[in-house]
Structure 1
Amino acid sequence: MTVGVEEEFLLVDPSTRRPVARAVEVLSRVGDLPPGSAVHRELIGTQVEFATGVCADLAELRDQLVAGRRALADAARAEGLLLVASGTPPLADPAPPLSVGERFTRIEGMYRAQVTDYQCCGCHVHVGVPDRDTAVHVADHLRPWLPTLLALSGNSPFDQGRDTGYASGRMLQQAGFPGSGVPPVLRTAARHDELVARLVDCGVLVDGSMTFWLARPSPRYPTVEVRAADTAATVDDAVLQAGLTRALVDTARAAGEPPELDEQVLAAAVWSAARYGLTGWGVDPFAGRQVPAVELVEALLEHVSDALGDDRDLVRSLVSRVLTDGTGAERQRAAGSPEDAVDLLACTPAGTGSPAP
């Protein structure tokens, strides 16, 4: 199965360590990119995105991610800025300017204060599927595993210079949007489209491409799009998300009916993953009870073991590194101050982010 990744980044002044709204200027300086890849603006002018092309394997994906980070980091440096890989800005000024555009204006008009300072950055993984019904079937089966993908990726502990106490402050902010979190069981593309159209009619979504679920059929590509993760502190962290997600999709395609799970327990699992990451307790969605988060990681690895195939050793080694070195959130806190966290996560000339893999 093919795989691709979209990574969102912050543009930061190296003196103040605060984001600055210079996305248009930085994107105009981006040079050569890997085949099929692209860079984009985001809602807030302090953010930019790199989207890989369609990749056949994790090695190709990693090469593209390194090249994309390098291209954006070089363009940012030419503007006197840093490209920073954090799920939220450790330091920020209130109400940065939104990007210019009719759709961005509609989004601001609908969500108001929820988006005026929404400088959250995620790592979105796309996995190719043959059709939209398969995408919905897969999303139905991904539901119990989305919190663990989030726990592995927590990389946003700071907000406005203070420690939130969460591994993923980004998820805390995203929860303010309508329908955020684990998607409902929908079974078919027709039922998915019917529900999304109803939410648009209810006035809580700008359009049909703007659902906030952590997994969904992509509105643009023939893929399942998984959006559980904070933007990755390093390229290897992004490769880990891609490897696990692709294996989950492969496993789900062969599965029958999705498991019956309590929606409140799933919501509790997302909250616990955002709160504690891998450092404390998680929630087992199947058993409906509190368990050490690392046990959920091992259960995920066991669940996708066959689907990992030749990537098994690589993915397990990347998981081991996160368990040893900590998630991005743990590394940010260990760096010291929010200013030190910015310096830690500034993408290097090698394009990989720090620490180097």
Structure 2
Amino acid sequence: MTARTTAAATPSQSTTTVGVEEEFLLVDATTRQTAARAADVLARTPALPAGAKVDRELLTTQVEFASGVCTDLDELHGQLLAGRRALVAAAGAEGALVVPSGTPVLAGPVPPLAEGDRFTRISALYGGQVADYQCCGCHVHVGVPDRDTAVAVVNHLRPWLPTLLALSVNSPFAAGRDTGFGSWRMVEQARFPGSGVPPRFGSAAEHDAAVARLAECGVLVDEAMTFWLARPSPRYPTVEVRAADAAVTAADAVLQAGLTRALVDAALADLAAGREAPALDDQVLAAAVWSAARHGLGGPGVDPWRGVPVPAADLLRRLVEHVSYDGPVWSVVAGGTGADRQRRAADGGPVAVVDALAAACISAPDGGNPRR
């Protein structure tokens, strides 16, 4: 996924490449509890769009769909819907539902680990911290020319990562109870070393040295593992942004991808003009992430530049204005965050929440696609 951008492009004009990895939970169709059926579901998955794939996650209650490389958000939306439909069909044949939630609404027994040497090493290092870590996110990859550019772009993304999280919150429940947070996934993830907004690095070499140091200290399995919300991808020529909870609908995932790509385009334009990223207080950024996880878009946020409380919705407006985004942000947001939707469904109890999420997984509201 490579691209060169010398001026900020509106989302409808951007040719920067983008791809999305979506993580999902599998639940038993009868009990609505998480079900360890990933291997059987993946084995049944039918044909996927060109370049797309499905894969395992750490625990056997989770599956992942990764889109191919796209330049057009309509194409991305189509791929995400196709991937979701393929997984839903395969899961149905195994008596399971595909649930797009950042954390399980109703957890079943502690699931087995997926097979694989790296998963075994992760389990050995983190022990009980990952024994029941059934958290799912929506990861966006955006193409960049090289790793030094990727690091410089991530520096520009730092103040916007909490707002991308606030937009995406979709994990208010844990073990059937409302945690009071919009994103309990982010609370769970914060327990890992080096989580949250990444430090500001001056080069790829400086970034790589910092990651190698953490691995040498014994808190990362290897240098391909970090828990920061954005990073140069260790596998692709991309910036990988991992702020978002699992998206309820494909339209939600495309909005996250569109805004992320627009932020990368804006960062590339800033770099081309010689504008460096601002130096921000790491503790204020941590406060902004916590506030976004707690309140989503419906409450206070933290202004990363001034270190003061502001409405979270104002920060989203500032992001949209910053990138001149011309996609349908407010029509998608009008239905509330995923956490809002889960809580509305909760009037019918936890089972109703699971059913609402499973039904929404392959829905395409208004028959269409969030264009641009």
One fold, TM greater than 0.5? yes
- 1:79 — aligned with what? 94
Aligned positions of 1:95-134 closer than 5 A: 95-134=110-149
Tell whether 2:313 aligns with 1:303. Answer: no
2:185 is the counterpart of 1:162: no
2:337 maps to 327
**Structure-2 residue corresponding to 1:345:** 357
Q: Which residues of structure 2 form unaligned runs of 5+? A: 1-15
Whether the aligned pair in 2 keeps the contact of 1:129 and 1:223 (CA below 8 Å) is: yes
Judged with a 3 Å threshold, the aligned counterparts in structure 2 of structure 1 residues 185 and 139 are, in CA distance, closer, same or farther, namely same
Aligned residues: CA RMSD: 1.4
C-alpha distance in 1 between matches for 2:276 and 2:18: 25
Q: Distance in 2 between matches of 1:68 and 1:352?
A: 13
Equivalent-residue separation in structure 1 for 2:268 and 2:232 (angstroms)? 14
Displacement of 1:260 in angstroms is 1.3
Number of the residue aligned with 2:34 = 19
Identity %: 67
Q: In the alignment, is the contact (CA less than 8 A) between 2:183 and 2:339 conserved in 1?
A: yes
Q: CA deviation at 1:339?
A: 1.4
Match of 1:250? 265
Residue in structure 1 matching 2:75, options 60, 78, 85: 60
Task: Give the total of aligned pairs.
Answer: 347
| Structure 2 SS opposite 1:237 | helix
1:22-61 alignment to 2 at 5 Å? 22-61=37-76
What does residue 218 of structure 2 align with?
Answer: 203
Name the residue aligned to 1:231: 246
Counterpart contact for 1:73–1:347, Cα < 8 Å? no
Match of 2:205 among 163, 183, 190: 190
Q: Residue 176 and residue 159 in structure 1: after superposition, are their counterparts in 2 closer, same or farther (change >3 A)?
A: same
Q: Say yes or no: does 1:263 pair with 2:282.
A: yes
Q: How has the CA–CA distance of structure 1 residues 85 and 355 changed in structure 2, closer, same or farther, with 3 Å as cutoff?
A: farther
Q: Does the CA-based 8 Å contact 1:11-1:20 persist in structure 2?
A: yes
Name the CA distance, whole Å, in 2 between partners of 1:282 and 1:225. Answer: 24
Give me the whole-angstrom Cα distance separating, in 1, the residues matched to 2:91 and 2:178: 27
Q: What's the offset of the Cα at 1:254?
A: 2.0
Alignment partners' CA distance in 1, 2:212 and 2:363: 40
Q: Is the contact made by 2:249 and 2:362 (CA closer than 8 Å) also made in structure 1?
A: no
SS at match of 2:259: helix
Indicate how the Cα distance of structure 1 residues 353 and 83 shifts in structure 2: closer, same or farther if over 3 A, else same.
farther
The TM-score with structure 1 as length reference comes to 0.95
Structure 1 residue runs of 4+, over 3 Å off? Answer: 352-357
1:318 maps to what in 2?
Answer: 329
Distance in 1 of aligned mates of 2:136 and 2:367 = 20
